[in-house]
Amino acid sequence: MATKVIQAIYTDDDILMNAVKSVKENKYHIEEIYTPFPVHGLDKLMGLPHTRLAITSFLYGLVGLTVAVVMMNFIMIEDWPQNIGGKPSFSYIQNMPAFVPIMFELTVFFAAHLMVITFYMRSKLWPFKKAENPDSRTTDDRFLMEVSVNEKNYQQVTELIYKSGASEIKLKEN
């Protein structure tokens, strides 16, 4: 029965923020908010947890660094330690400065690309994915808030949202 949501459309992000605050204060559950652009501070008001994307990126960077070190050590030092222009290939550390550009680039490469891929996977984005947009105007100039309701409280929630300055209110069955 809890599969009904109220969709409220706002025309201004300030009004939206106030609405979110009042819905939160009354302890109703916000299902989702659709906005055409990032609204600064919205995540904090909704109480969303902090992203851990930066941490994954750091770890991917370490992976990239390891790949670079292991690769260069195997190729240049262990497998075939040639004398190339008098560079010392006796141990990794002796020839390390020459490998630093590679180590740096692979660290950045892994950190950047794997983080982006992680982002796509976590936010479920890929080509040919069906858009989950409840109202196409939210990509242009409207803000849409979905609040989940049940039989008992939908009346009160509707009133609350009406008072919060919504320009349209719809009850939708999921």
Question: Which residues of the shown chain bind another protein in the complex (CB under 8 A)?
Answer: 54, 58, 86, 88, 97-98, 100
Q: Which residues of 150-166 are buried (b: 16+ CB within 10 A; e: fewer)?
A: eeeebeebbebbeebbb
DSSP state of 2: T
- Shortest separation between residue 54's beta carbon and another protein, angstroms: 7
* Closer residue to another protein, CB minimum distance, 51 or 167: 51
Rounded to 5 degrees, φ, ψ at 171 are: -105, 125
* Closer residue to another protein, CB minimum distance, 54 or 117: 54
- Shortest separation between residue 155's beta carbon and another protein, angstroms: 39
Alpha helices, DSSP H only, in 78-168? 96-122, 154-163
- Give the contacts of 38 (CB within 8 A, at least 6 positions apart): none
**CA proximity to 153, closest of 36, 10, 2, 20:** 2
* Closer residue to another protein, CB minimum distance, 15 or 98: 98
- Shortest separation between residue 125's beta carbon and another protein, angstroms: 25
- Shortest separation between residue 143's beta carbon and another protein, angstroms: 23
* Closer residue to another protein, CB minimum distance, 100 or 121: 100
